[in-house]
Amino acid sequence: MVSTRTPGQAALHHAKAKWQVCFRASVAYKRLPDSLSQSFHATTVTTQGKPGREGTLERLGDERFMAKASCPTLRPVATKRFSHNDSAIDSKKRKAWQSPLRRTMGNPKQPIQVRAPSASPLKQSSLTFAPSTLSSLATVAGTAEPEYGPEAITSVAKDAETTPFTEIGRDGLAWEAPDVTSVETKTFYLMADSGEAAMLQAIYSNVASLRVTCQFVSKVFYRGTDKAPLWCSDELTNVDYSDDKTCFYADNLAIELSEDAGSYTIKSMTNENALINITISRKTPAFVVGKDGRTLYGTDPENPWGNMRHAFWPRCVAEGTITTSEGPIDFKGKAFFVHALQGMKPHHAAARWNFVDFQGKDYSALIMEFTTPPSYASTTVNVGAIVKDDKIVYAGCTNTATHVTTTTDSDNDWPTPDTVKYTWSGKTTGGEALEASMEGGIDKCLDRVDVMAEVPGFVKSIIAAAAGTKPYVYHYSPKTPLSLKLKIGDKEIEDKGDFYCEASFIC
Q: Compute the distance between CA of residue 389 and CA of residue 87 in angstroms, rounded to an integer.
A: 55
pLDDT at res. 376: 97
pLDDT over 80 at 241, yes or no = yes
pLDDT at res. 283: 98
Structural contact between residues 68 and 58, judged by C-beta atoms closer than 8 angstroms? yes
What is the overall mean pLDDT for the chain? 77
Length of the chain, please?
507
pLDDT at res. 453: 67
Q: Compute the distance between CA of residue 15 and CA of residue 308 in angstroms, rounded to an integer.
A: 39
pLDDT over 60 at 105, yes or no = no
Average pLDDT over residues 241-252: 98
Residues 6+ apart with CB under 8 A from 333: 190, 191, 192, 193, 194, 317, 318
Cα dihedral 283, 320, 20, 185 sign: positive
The radius of gyration of the chain's CA atoms, rounded to the nearest angstrom, is: 24
Q: Compute the distance between CA of residue 325 and CA of residue 341 in angstroms, rounded to an integer.
A: 33
Structural contact between residues 481 and 495, judged by C-beta atoms closer than 8 angstroms? no
pLDDT over 50 at 27, yes or no = no
pLDDT at res. 8: 59
Query: Percent of the chain having pLDDT more than 70?
Result: 68
pLDDT over 90 at 220, yes or no = yes
Average pLDDT over residues 96-125: 33
pLDDT at res. 6: 58
Average pLDDT over residues 448-460: 62
How many Å separate Cα 304 from the centre of its chain? 26
Residues 6+ apart with CB under 8 A from 279: 263, 264, 265, 266, 318, 319, 320
- Superfamily name and number for 127-505: AttH-like domain (2.40.370.10)
pLDDT digits (tens, 9 = 90+) for 45-60: 333 333 333 333 333 3
Number of CB atoms found within 10 A of residue 475's CB: 22
Average pLDDT over residues 205-209: 86
Structural contact between residues 190 and 318, judged by C-beta atoms closer than 8 angstroms? yes
Number of CB atoms found within 10 A of residue 31's CB: 19
Confidence of residue 88 (pLDDT cuts 50, 70, 90): very low
For the chain, what is the largest distance between any 2 Cα atoms, rounded to a whole number of angstroms?
A: 78
pLDDT over 90 at 10, yes or no = no
Strand, coil or helix: 16: helix
Which pTM does this prediction carry?
A: 0.75
pLDDT over 80 at 235, yes or no = yes
pLDDT digits (tens, 9 = 90+) for 317-367: 999 999 999 999 999 999 999 999 999 988 899 999 999 999 999 999 999
- What is the 3 state secondary structure string of 233-253? EEECCCCEECCCCCCEEECCE
pLDDT at res. 190: 98
pLDDT over 70 at 295, yes or no = yes
pLDDT over 90 at 94, yes or no = no
Q: Compute the distance between CA of residue 456 and CA of residue 389 in angstroms, rounded to an integer.
A: 44
Average pLDDT over residues 17-36: 40
Eight-state DSSP code of residue 280 = E
Average pLDDT over residues 464-469: 55
Confidence of residue 210 (pLDDT cuts 50, 70, 90): confident
Number of CB atoms found within 10 A of residue 412's CB: 14
pLDDT over 60 at 122, yes or no = no
pLDDT at res. 243: 97
- What is the 3 state secondary structure string of 281-347? EECCCCEEECCCCEEEECCCCCCCCEEEEEEEEEEEEEEEEEEECCEEEECCEEEEEEEEEECCCHH
pLDDT at res. 164: 97
Angle, CA 338 vertex, CA 334 and CA 339 arms, to 5°: 150
pLDDT over 80 at 73, yes or no = no
pLDDT at res. 153: 98
Confidence of residue 481 (pLDDT cuts 50, 70, 90): confident
Average pLDDT over residues 194-207: 94
Structural contact between residues 240 and 250, judged by C-beta atoms closer than 8 angstroms? yes
Q: Compute the distance between CA of residue 386 and CA of residue 365 in angstroms, rounded to an integer.
A: 5
Structural contact between residues 350 and 450, judged by C-beta atoms closer than 8 angstroms? no
Regarding predicted confidence, which is higher, 90 or 249?
A: 249
pLDDT over 60 at 117, yes or no = no
pLDDT digits (tens, 9 = 90+) for 482-507: 999 999 999 999 999 999 999 999 98
pLDDT digits (tens, 9 = 90+) for 124-151: 333 333 333 333 343 444 456 789 999 9
Confidence of residue 5 (pLDDT cuts 50, 70, 90): low
Average pLDDT over residues 425-445: 95
Q: Where in the chain is the domain with CATH 2.40.370.10?
A: 127-505
Structural contact between residues 68 and 75, judged by C-beta atoms closer than 8 angstroms? no
Cα dihedral 370, 374, 378, 379 sign: negative
**Which of these, 305, 125, 129, 137, lies nearest to 205 by C-alpha position?**
137
Residues 6+ apart with CB under 8 A from 235: 122, 124, 213, 214, 215
pLDDT at res. 95: 36
pLDDT over 90 at 392, yes or no = yes
pLDDT at res. 14: 54
DSSP string covering 72-132, please? TT-EEEEEEEE---GGGS-HHHHHHHHHHHTTTT--TTS-EEE-PPPSS------EEEETT
C-alpha distance across the termini of the chain, in Å: 59
Regarding predicted confidence, which is higher, 92 or 243?
A: 243
pLDDT at res. 507: 85
